[in-house]
Structure 1
Amino acid sequence: MSTTFSLIAPASFTRPEILDQAAEALQRFGIEVRFPAQLQKRHRYLAGDVGHRLETLYEAYADPHTDAVWAVRGGYGCAHLATEIDWHRLSPKPLIGYSDLSVLLDQCHRHGLPAIHGPVMKEGVKLIADDEALRAASQRDLGALMGLLVGRNPESVTLTPITATTSATIEGPLVGGNLSTLASVAGTPLAFRAPPGAIVILEDVGEPYYRLERDLWQLAYSGALDEAAAVCIGTFDSCVPYGDLRIETLFETWLMPRGLPLYADLPVGHGRDNLPWRYGAMGRIADGRLQFRD
């Protein structure tokens, strides 16, 4: 069964040549993408003003010839759209992306629409990278993404317990995404709040540790994690450490007093590995592994 994707550019601008390279690489992998007549209409560092980005979003969801809506990249700007979308105009196609898309994934889930936290389209260039390990990881993650679209869950993954025991069993909806993005919408109508019993996945890229700590503090004291059952740490690629401070220590500092079980080493984020998962679907942590369920 073939799958065709509608492309959207809801956030930052991407050089067209990168998108062309990614589309060609994805086609070799058996993935077809459909570009709208004008995907981007550059506005400052964004792919377009709010009006343009909204219209391409509506067109993508209305296209009867595509099966899913795929963001070409994150960056910055998705929150602009999330406050303006007429949700009744969106068909039940899954939205796919991560990073700045975290706010849209969360809003899709709240409005009863399917969403997948997974690679963005421009990362299709990894399929033709010189690095063999990067190519293999991209093939694996894109294969898992295609599996999700036909109802096949990813294989379970091993976690490292930080403030939890390997014998703990936790089951709840999988939510979360990019730490700095979710922290940035605290105090707005888009504020992230983990549903009761949720397993919250958090990742980030390129942030110094003091900013990560600020964002963790923001989430913790905004009440975003009050009803969560556990937190899983994804990758924090290219985040600048402070001395020998470990990312796990930052999470322990602000989450351990709240009694939240904490796990690390989830292969989700901006690094080589970005395992896709259905936003809001059930996850189960048992025997030190995260299992993906319907």
Structure 2
Amino acid sequence: MADPTAPSLVVFAPSGVMLDRPAARRAVKHLRSLGFDAVLDADALARHQRFAGDDATRLAALHRVADAAPSVALALRGGYGLTRLLDHIDWRRIATSIERGTRWVGHSDFTALHLAAMAHGAVVAPPARHRRHEHAHGDCGGLWAGPLAHDDFSRTAEQGGIDDVTEGCFVEAMHGELEAVGFRTEAGFDGLEARGVLWGGNLTVLLALLGTPHFPQVKQGVLFLEDVNERTYRTERNLLQLHQCGVLDRQRAILLGAFSAVPPPTAMDRGYRLRGVIDHLRTLTKTPILTGLPFGHVPTKISLPVGRRVLVRVEGRNVLIGWAAA
């Protein structure tokens, strides 16, 4: 029998097709073991071309989850597909679910939903006294850059198991108990303090929204970025586009996560690496660029409150990102 006090959690699929159906069910089972009343959305395993169902099916699932307003709405996997839905999402329904306490969680392609929700004003729930409905768990709803159900909660012991940091950070965040995260960066930023709205996610997805109504206009913010499967020159080109259109200079700090699964360098690269890209970028923008954020397409990832005001403080090489409860 389900625990009536357990926070409700719906795993849904707004993006790419899920080919490994047993893994999806294994993820739900593990989430239940963590104390969530976890269920798989009825269309999470739908298939249409490379998508988890056609556009109408995935849009209906997104709205269905919003209307149900569970404590946690967790994306099954990334891939591609949310961009096709952005012009048709009822953002008022997303905002209402957040007001009722829903946390929308994911990364990768889910960056599109996070950033578009910010652009359309659906970000963080108002203080409790202004809400019509209270969840039994946590402080408020909102947008969380964090794990994906399949990528992070379905791995068997033979596949490396489930990362303790990722799991612990997610559980604390979903119960409203996480107020800060920390990591180690390079030397040279001791004493830095930066305050602003935290935003960002996957660099390629973020860049695809630039110039559209779904790109949030964040000034004096804290921008975090990650990417996967991109050659170094493509990453540099994307970062330079953000710089050349003024986005980087308008931020208080830039936090770089994992740029993983980079294809091997070619003979043309001749020592050209991401390290050099970052060094070059630092000569172009006045905004401090910190590396080492444990976030991205890697097993160990923290959970980050997108759209929340944060304070970034550096002591020596230790970085603390803190936020106040809404």
TM-score, length of structure 1 as denominator length: 0.89
Aligned to 1:78: 82
- Taking the TM superposition and a 5 Å limit, the aligned residue runs for 1:173-192 are 173-192=197-216
Is this contact kept in 1: 2:72–2:103, CA < 8 A? yes
Confirm or deny that 1:200 pairs with 2:223: yes
Residue 283 of structure 1 aligns to a residue in which SS?
Answer: strand
How far residue 255 of structure 1 moved from its aligned partner, in angstroms, is 4.6
* Amino acid in the other structure paired with 1:106: L
Which of these residues, 253, 275, 282, is aligned with residue 302 of structure 2? 275
Q: State the distance in 2 between where 1:185 and 1:169 align.
A: 29
Q: State the distance in 1 between where 2:216 and 2:206 align.
A: 6
* Amino acid in the other structure paired with 2:157: A
User: Which ranges of structure 2 fall in alignment gaps of 5 or more residues?
Assistant: 124-141
Is this contact kept in 2: 1:175–1:280, CA < 8 A? yes
Aligned to 2:147: 119
Which of these residues, 153, 176, 183, is aligned with residue 151 of structure 1? 176
- Taking the TM superposition and a 5 Å limit, the aligned residue runs for 1:56-71 are 56-63=61-68, 66-71=70-75
Residue 275 of structure 2 aligns to a residue in which SS?
Answer: helix
Q: State the distance in 2 between where 1:183 and 1:192 align.
A: 11
Q: State the distance in 2 between where 1:46 and 1:28 align.
A: 29
- Taking the TM superposition and a 5 Å limit, the aligned residue runs for 1:106-145 are 106-110=115-119, 111-113=121-123, 114-122=142-150, 123-126=152-155, 128-130=156-158, 135=162, 138-145=163-170
Provide closer, same or farther for how the CA distance between residues 48 and 283 of structure 1 changes in structure 2, counting only shifts above 3 A.
farther
Which of these residues, 3, 6, 10, is aligned with residue 10 of structure 2? 6
Q: Which shifted more, 257-266 or 138-147?
A: 138-147
Aligned to 1:226: 249
List structure 1 segments (4+ residues) > 6 angstroms apart after TM superposition: none
Is this contact kept in 2: 1:159–1:263, CA < 8 A? no
Q: Which shifted more, 278-287 or 32-41?
A: 32-41
How far residue 192 of structure 1 moved from its aligned partner, in angstroms, is 4.8
Q: State the distance in 2 between where 1:103 and 1:265 align.
A: 23
Which of these residues, 103, 111, 121, is aligned with residue 112 of structure 2? 103
Residue 191 of structure 2 aligns to a residue in which SS?
Answer: coil
Is this contact kept in 2: 1:78–1:104, CA < 8 A? yes
Q: State the distance in 2 between where 1:99 and 1:21 align.
A: 21
Q: State the distance in 2 between where 1:259 and 1:190 align.
A: 26
Residue 273 of structure 1 aligns to a residue in which SS?
Answer: coil
User: Which ranges of structure 1 fall in alignment gaps of 5 or more residues?
Assistant: none
Aligned to 1:290: 320
* Amino acid in the other structure paired with 1:112: A
* Amino acid in the other structure paired with 1:124: F
* Amino acid in the other structure paired with 2:153: G
How far residue 243 of structure 1 moved from its aligned partner, in angstroms, is 4.6
Is this contact kept in 1: 2:313–2:319, CA < 8 A? yes
Q: Which shifted more, 80-89 or 107-116?
A: 107-116
Residue 83 of structure 1 aligns to a residue in which SS?
Answer: helix
Q: State the distance in 1 between where 2:274 and 2:6 align.
A: 40
Which of these residues, 24, 28, 31, is aligned with residue 26 of structure 1? 31
Residue 79 of structure 1 aligns to a residue in which SS?
Answer: helix
Provide closer, same or farther for how the CA distance between residues 4 and 247 of structure 1 changes in structure 2, counting only shifts above 3 A.
same
Residue 154 of structure 2 aligns to a residue in which SS?
Answer: helix
Q: State the distance in 2 between where 1:177 and 1:256 align.
A: 23
Q: State the distance in 2 between where 1:254 and 1:84 align.
A: 36
* Amino acid in the other structure paired with 2:10: S
Q: State the distance in 2 between where 1:250 and 1:257 align.
A: 11
Is this contact kept in 1: 2:92–2:122, CA < 8 A? no
Is this contact kept in 1: 2:224–2:254, CA < 8 A? yes
Q: Which shifted more, 11-20 or 218-227?
A: 218-227
Residue 207 of structure 1 aligns to a residue in which SS?
Answer: coil
Calculate percent identity across the aligned residue pairs. Answer: 25
Q: State the distance in 2 between where 1:170 and 1:71 align.
A: 30
Provide closer, same or farther for how the CA distance between residues 125 and 36 of structure 1 changes in structure 2, counting only shifts above 3 A.
closer
Q: State the distance in 2 between where 1:226 and 1:79 align.
A: 26
Residue 248 of structure 2 aligns to a residue in which SS?
Answer: coil
* Amino acid in the other structure paired with 1:42: R
Structure label with greater radius of gyration: 2
